[in-house]
Chain A
Amino acid sequence: MQSVAINIEGKEKFVNDFETFSELYLRNNSLNALRKSSISRFYELGFPTTKNEEWKYTNVSPITKNNFRFLTPSDKFSLTKSDIKPFLICGKDATVLVFENGRFNESLSVINNLPANVLIASLASSLENDIVKQHLGKYASIKTESFIALNSAFIYDGAFIHIPANAILEQPIHFLYVSDARVESTVSYPRNLIVAEKNSQVNIAESYHTISSVNHHFTNSVTEVVVKENAKVEFDKFQNETAEAFHINHTEAYQEKNSTFDISTVTLGGGLVRNNLHIVLDGENCTSHLHGLYLVNGTQLVDNHTLVDHAKPNCYSNELYKGIIDDKGQGVFNGKIFVRKDAQKTNAYQSNKNILLSDDASMNAKPQLEIFADDVKCSHGATTGQLDEDALFYLRSRGIGEENAKALLNIAFSNDVLNHISIETMRDKIANLVFEKLKK
């Protein structure tokens, strides 16, 4: 039972961090009740083990075995403009909110001209905002997810976006999260809240990067997205941390009637990456597209868990996740579509396709449908195979070298997902990084 002992030890460490943190910074704050109940809940739940069905293939014990330093709001910033330059992937017109180890770095951020009443701010500066009070923590439940509980205990900073009714943002907003682990291993708890009011439209990008050579970093991020009536939100996530990084990411989207929520999640970097995506379609005629791409090599583990909850009738969801796994990499996909009793005329589709490039690569895919309505159209499927040898020979027979031919095929496979990122600069930059990684 050694592993249990380690878990408790790991857990204690995080609770100690919390006590120091709350004593120093959290007096007289309206979120203290949530923080306190969250840390208690986290302590009760502990870190999940592989005995938990939802974490069967993803062993998080390496996270608990590390000592990460939690940087408090009084720690100084160290990143420079040139440090973050390679990560500015959304073009020169984007609004960029830079977060250094989870804390808003105002001097590196760029907030462009915005339509009236659009609010783009750090969460730390908005904790007493009424919209924040109304929505924060309402969608990401601490009841069963210990990582959400842990994040909620440390709620302090992140991005807060409020798009008022009828506002349409032409330029994207980029949440740029950079972890600086050059001096020591660090941990951060980004917390984002996006509220798009009736008839509004916005494109948001979120990217994660590390600056470090050997030290570990642990990102435990939670984002809540509220998409109100007839609003349209596109949310594009890009994860490209170092192989030493642990990344646990929860995204909770809540949709009202006639709204659209499109999300793409591209994972290139990170040693252990777990993405939980939970979408609730809680009004009629909602549309959601979920796209995912993961390129896994070395000893990386990338785990995507998605849940699309069709709570109301006449909604449409379409999900496509694709993975390319090489070396000793491990991929996990668990996609659940839940169609509630009242959600008649639901159209819900899900597909997961994987290519294994080596004998040691592995993929565990589990598509699930739970349907309680009787008049629905749903389908799901998962395939895992090798690179098409005939296609490879065809390309090579025209003079294209083996490595380039493989890269060409894998890029074609990846483009199915990348083409859904509508921020052009971001799509092109990611496509280049995909190509570089595939060529290695």
Chain B
Amino acid sequence: MLEIKNLIAKVEDKQILNGINLEVKPGEVHAIMGPNGSGKSTLASVLAGKDNYEVVDGKILFDGENISEMSPEDRARKGLFLAFQYPIEIPGVSNANFLKTALNEVRKSKGLEPLDSKDFLILMKEKMKLVEMDKAMTQRSVNEGFSGGEKKRNEIFQMAMLEPKLCVLDETDSGLDIDALRIVANGVNGLRNKERSFLVITHYQRLLDYIVPDFVHVLYNGRIVKSGGKELALELEEKGYDWIKEEVTV
């Protein structure tokens, strides 16, 4: 599904990722943890293809194809989805219109007919249940005036609508109270299946109580310095990140 090989990337002349290697197979959930400034969010942005994030060396293979030079829209159409840490507010564009445009562009790239309004509404209704969205939220401008929890739910709602192969969740737990966290995590769990993979980027173990990963990786100074099972997350929660830093320095 996803194979990252010796990925080196910089942001505005500052090298942040210093050789990342990671393989995610279909249906797997991988957690990326790490202290602040370790490069977690940079990795998410590089995967999604954000401008100003330059891949200096290495490869990002998605379904066997190197996507490191691909436009963000082409990556999305291939089935990569980034749930933003800070979802963007877009005044004047309704959530429903935005999603319909996105969904139909993705469908077009696959040679499928666009969904008409009726089928789109049926699909939307079905997916809204997953994250307990109400109708009013779909009619409002994208994320405008949404609470922190609503914004994150909207990210998962979009994910549900677009049905990607690989979901990258960038600090989806940040700014959420426990109820909102539960709704969001239930939404994500509802989307798990044998084919769909997840890369869950988080600073805290808390989210992983709800979205239980198959693998946990620790990112530090732009490298994956330790990998393990879900118990590694608990160890990090208990001991903090300092012992990792020490291990790396030694």
Interface positions of A (Cβ within 8 A of B): 388-391, 393-402, 404-405, 408-409, 411-413, 415-416
The answer for the CA separation of A395 and B143 in the assembled complex, in Å, is 12
B226 part of interface (Cβ distance < 8 Å) = no
Give A152 Cβ to nearest chain B Cβ, in Å.
Answer: 41
B109 at the interface (CB under 8 A from A): yes
| Cβ of B124 to closest chain A Cβ, rounded Å | 14
User: How far, in whole Å, are A139 and B51 apart by their CA atoms in the complex?
Assistant: 54
**A394, A401, A404, A405: the one within 8 Å of B87 (CB):** A394
Partner of B71, one of A389, A396, A415: A396
On whether the beta carbons of B84 and A394 are closer than 8 Å, the reply is: yes
Q: Do A397 and B82 touch across chains, with their CB atoms under 8 A apart? A: yes
B105 in contact with A401 (CB, 8 Å): yes
Inter-chain CA distance A280–B105, complex, in Å, is: 49
A-facing residues in B93-109 (Cβ within 8 Å): 93, 98-99, 101-103, 105-106, 109
B76-A396 in contact (CB<8A): yes
Please name all residues of chain B whose beta carbon is closer than 8 Å to the beta carbon of A415 when the two chains form the complex. Answer: 92
Interface of A (DSSP majority class): helix
Q: Which of A390, A393, A408 is within 8 Å of B101, CB to CB?
A: A408
11 additional A-B pairs beyond A394-B88, A394-B142, beta carbons within 8 Å, are A393-B51, A393-B88, A395-B102, A397-B50, A397-B72, A397-B81, A398-B158, A399-B103, A400-B73, A402-B73, A404-B101
Is the CB of B20 closer than 8 A to any CB of chain A?
A: no
Select from chain A the residue with minimum beta-carbon distance to B52. Answer: A389
- Asked if B162 CB lies within 8 Å of chain A CBs, one says yes
What are 13 inter-chain pairs, A to B, with CB distance below 8 A?
Answer: A390-B88, A393-B48, A395-B90, A395-B102, A396-B49, A396-B71, A397-B49, A398-B162, A399-B77, A400-B105, A408-B93, A409-B93, A411-B92
The interface residues of chain B lying within 8 Å CB-to-CB of A397 are 48-50, 72-73, 75-76, 81-82, 84
Cα separation A388 to B142 with both chains bound (whole Å): 14
Q: Report how far A413 CA is from B103 CA in the complex, Å.
A: 22
Kindly list chain B residues whose C-beta atoms are within 8 Å of the C-beta of A389. 51
Residues from chain B with a CB closer than 8 A to the CB of A404 are 101, 105
Q: Is B91 among interface residues, defined by CB-CB distance under 8 A?
A: yes
Task: Tally the A-B contacts, defined by beta carbons under 8 Å.
Answer: 77
A386 CB to closest chain B CB, in angstroms? 13
| Residue among A397, A400, A402, A412 having the largest count of chain B Cβ atoms under 10 Å | A397
Name the residue in A391, A399, A409 with the highest tally of chain B Cβ atoms < 10 Å from its Cβ.
A399
State the interface size on chain B (CB cutoff 8 A).
Answer: 32
B28 CB to nearest A CB, Å: 22
Identify A400's interface contact among B48, B91, B102, CB under 8 A: B102
A residues near B92, Cβ cutoff 8 Å: 411-413, 415-416
| Contact A399-B87, Cβ < 8 Å, known A393-B51, A409-B93, A413-B92 | no
Most B CB atoms within 10 A — which of A393, A394, A402? A394
Q: Given A396-B71, A397-B48, answer yes or no on A391-B101 (Cβ-Cβ < 8 Å).
A: no
Contact between A399 and B105, CB atoms less than 8 A apart? yes
Within 8 A of A (CB), among B30-49: 48-49
B101 → chain A closest CB, angstroms: 6
Residues of B participating in the A interface, judged by any CB pair closer than 8 Å: 48-51, 71-73, 75-77, 81-82, 84, 87-93, 98-99, 101-103, 105-106, 109, 141-142, 158, 162
Q: Is there an interface contact between A412 and B71, defined as CB atoms closer than 8 Å?
A: no
Residue A391 contacts which of B75, B90, B109 (CB distance < 8 angstroms)?
B90
Known contacts A389-B51, A408-B98; A399/B76 CB under 8 A: yes
Shortest Cβ distance from A87 into chain B, in angstroms? 27
Count chain B CB atoms within 10 A of each CB in A391, A393, A398, A411 and give the residue with the most. A398
Q: Which of B51, B82, B89, B90 has the most CB of A within 10 A?
A: B90
Say whether, besides A393-B50, A393-B51, A393-B72, A398 and B102 are in contact (CB < 8 Å): yes
> Closest approach, in angstroms, between the C-beta of B7 and any C-beta of chain A?
19
Q: Are B90 and A409 in contact (CB under 8 A)?
A: yes
B99 / chain A contacts, CB cutoff of 8 Å: 398
Provide the residues of chain A in CB contact with B75, threshold 8 Å. 397
Q: CB-nearest residue of chain B relative to A393?
A: B50
B87 contact set on A, CB distance < 8 A = 394
Question: Complex: how many Å from CA A409 to CA B101?
Answer: 12
Q: How far apart sit A144 and B77, CA to CA, in the bound complex (Å)?
A: 60
Inside 8 A of A394's CB, which chain B residues have their CB?
A: 84, 87-88, 90, 142
- The interface residues of chain B lying within 8 Å CB-to-CB of A396 are 49, 71-73, 76
List chain A residues, Cβ under 8 A from B72: 393, 396-397
Q: What's the least CB distance linking B172 to chain A, in Å?
A: 15
Closest to A389 in B: B51
Given A394-B88, A415-B92, A416-B92, A401 contacting B50 (CB threshold 8 A)? no
User: How many angstroms between the C-alpha atoms of A250 and B102 in the bound complex?
Assistant: 43
| Complex alpha-carbon distance, A401 and B77, angstroms | 10
**Bound complex: CA A153 to CA B111 (Å):** 62
Q: Which residues of B contact A416 (CB under 8 A)?
A: 92
CA of A232 to CA of B71, assembled, Å: 51
Q: Please measure, in the bound complex, the distance between the C-alpha atom of A390 and the C-alpha atom of B77, giving whole angstroms.
A: 19
What are the nearest 5 A-B pairs in CB distance?
A: A412-B92, A399-B76, A398-B102, A394-B88, A396-B72
Collect the chain A residues with CB atoms within 8 Å of residue B162's CB: 398-399
Residues of A within 8 A of B89 (CB): 391
Per the bound structure, the CA–CA distance linking A396 and B103 in Å amounts to 12
Q: Complex formed: what's the CA distance from A320 to B204 in Å?
A: 46
Which residues of chain A are within 8 angstroms of B91 by Cβ–Cβ distance?
A: 412
**Docked complex Cα distance between A390 and B141 (Å):** 16
A395 partner residues in chain B, CB cutoff 8 A: 90, 98, 102
Q: Which residues of B contact A393 (CB under 8 A)?
A: 48, 50-51, 72, 88
Q: A399 to B74: give the CA distance in the assembly, Å.
A: 6
Q: Which residues of B contact A402 (CB under 8 A)?
A: 71, 73
Is A400 a contact of B93 with CB atoms below 8 Å?
no
Whether the Cβ atoms of B90 and A398 lie closer than 8 Å is no
**A412 and B73 within 8 A (CB):** no
Contacts of B106 in A (CB 8 A): 399
